[in-house]
Amino acid sequence: MSVLARRDRALTPEETEALLRDRLGDGIIGSTLAHRMFTVHVAPSAWVDTFTRCRDEPLLDFDLFDTLHGVDAREDGFDVVAILYSTSTGNRLCLRTRCEGGRDTPVCPSLNDVYRGANWMERETWDMFGIEFPGHPALEPRILTVENFEGWPLRKDFHLASRVAKPWPGVKEPAELDEDGNVIERVPGIGDAPGPYVLDEAMAAQAIALRQVSAAIDAAAGNEAAVASAEPTVSDATMPEASAPASGTAASTDPAAAADAARTADEQRRAQAEARARKAAERAADETPEEQA
């Protein structure tokens, strides 16, 4: 038996909006369909009644409260968005309203008496956006910030204190002005975090210096020594072929230097192999009889 017991009787978005308009009249402002999500825009005065209808209407049967959050609409104030789901039809519905009170005192009626799941989410929305929910039993204490926190962190006009405590982490530092409008020039001090552009410059300079040092070493030791050190597993039988000087290099004009470099590299490889063998023997000697068993 399918979990979605009434999936064949699920209403379309158009039918859902028509039903809500029939029950609530002007309380339904309009609707949008974007990103496979159907959203009904509701007047604040009909916010609670809309959710009650969505829960109690047999044709809707939205029995699961999914989520609720705030949206900063800048100069237009704040919106509250909630999503409902029907476990019997599989329909999902998004409801959205514009808070009364503008940016100064945004207010949205609480849904706590309709869906108990709204309780915690309304507290989170108040904590982050400062939206009041009349009818909620207790929005305080704050649950996502400390109790003495000042301001609402998810508002777009919230001042980020970290931008004052340390330099801006972007490529271009924002200009800091004094009371007269003049640009303040600051010299980074000990402990100031440089931006990624400054760090990239330092890393690039370091990489160039390392390449120059490596090139000087290769030129002094000969190209054959560089090849031999890059292939530590080459056997004695293949050494003459691997150490053959390339045409046009400094080593091709000095066979004695190339032979010395190859012999030095061979001695280093043998010393490394002997050291590894000694370490293996020491580890085997330190093992207890139980470990050996």
pLDDT tens per residue across span 240-284? 444 444 444 444 446 677 677 777 777 877 887 788 788 878 877
Higher-scoring residue by pLDDT: 196, 131: 131
Based on the fold, state whether residues 109 and 229 are members of the same structural domain. no
Query: Distance (Å, rounded) from C-alpha 61 to C-alpha 88?
Result: 7
Based on the fold, state whether residues 148 and 201 are members of the same structural domain. no
Does residue 167 fall inside a structural domain?
no
pLDDT in tens, 32-56: 999 889 999 999 999 999 999 999 9
pLDDT in tens, 15-32: 999 999 999 999 999 999
Question: Residue 237: what pLDDT?
Answer: 42
Does residue 21 fall inside a structural domain?
yes
- Measured at the CA of 39, the angle between CA 26 and CA 50, to 5 degrees, comes to 45
- Min mean pLDDT across 161-175, 194-208, 212-226 is at 161-175
Query: Distance (Å, rounded) from C-alpha 269 to C-alpha 263?
Result: 10
Based on the fold, state whether residues 144 and 218 are members of the same structural domain. no
Q: Are 239 and 262 in contact (CB under 8 A)?
A: yes
Does residue 229 fall inside a structural domain?
yes
169 is written with which tokens?
A: 């982490």
CATH of the domain at 121: 3.30.460.80
User: DSSP string spanning 96-124?
Assistant: EEEPBTTTTS-B----TTT-TTHHHHHHH
Based on the fold, state whether residues 135 and 226 are members of the same structural domain. no
Does residue 179 fall inside a structural domain?
no
Based on the fold, state whether residues 18 and 136 are members of the same structural domain. yes
Domain boundary among 123, 153, 183: 153
Based on the fold, state whether residues 222 and 114 are members of the same structural domain. no
Based on the fold, state whether residues 72 and 210 are members of the same structural domain. no
Based on the fold, state whether residues 23 and 83 are members of the same structural domain. yes
Based on the fold, state whether residues 209 and 141 are members of the same structural domain. no
Please check the confidence at residue 1 and state whether its pLDDT lies above 60. Answer: no
Does residue 184 fall inside a structural domain?
no
Domain extent at residue 208: 196-292
Q: Are 142 and 153 in contact (CB under 8 A)?
A: no
Question: Residue 164: what pLDDT?
Answer: 52
Does residue 246 fall inside a structural domain?
yes
Based on the fold, state whether residues 131 and 216 are members of the same structural domain. no
Does residue 175 fall inside a structural domain?
no
Which is it for the CA torsion 12, 58, 48, 27, positive or negative? positive
Query: Distance (Å, rounded) from C-alpha 87 to C-alpha 91?
Result: 8
Question: Residue 236: what pLDDT?
Answer: 44
Domain boundary among 153, 184, 215: 153
Based on the fold, state whether residues 108 and 237 are members of the same structural domain. no
Q: Are 31 and 17 in contact (CB under 8 A)?
A: yes
Question: Residue 291: what pLDDT?
Answer: 52
Domain boundary among 119, 153, 187: 153
Question: Residue 63: what pLDDT?
Answer: 94
pLDDT in tens, 56-95: 999 999 999 999 999 999 999 999 999 999 999 999 999 9
Q: Sort 248 into a burial class: Cβ within 10 Å, 0-12 / 13-18 / 19+.
A: exposed
Question: Residue 186: what pLDDT?
Answer: 66
Please check the confidence at residue 239 and state whether its pLDDT lies above 50. Answer: no
pLDDT in tens, 140-166: 888 888 888 888 889 988 876 655 555
Report the number of distinct structural domains present in the chain: 2
Q: Are 251 and 245 in contact (CB under 8 A)?
A: yes
Based on the fold, state whether residues 235 and 99 are members of the same structural domain. no
Query: Distance (Å, rounded) from C-alpha 219 to C-alpha 253?
Result: 13
Please check the confidence at residue 172 and state whether its pLDDT lies above 90. Answer: no
Does residue 224 fall inside a structural domain?
yes
- By residue count, the chain amounts to 293
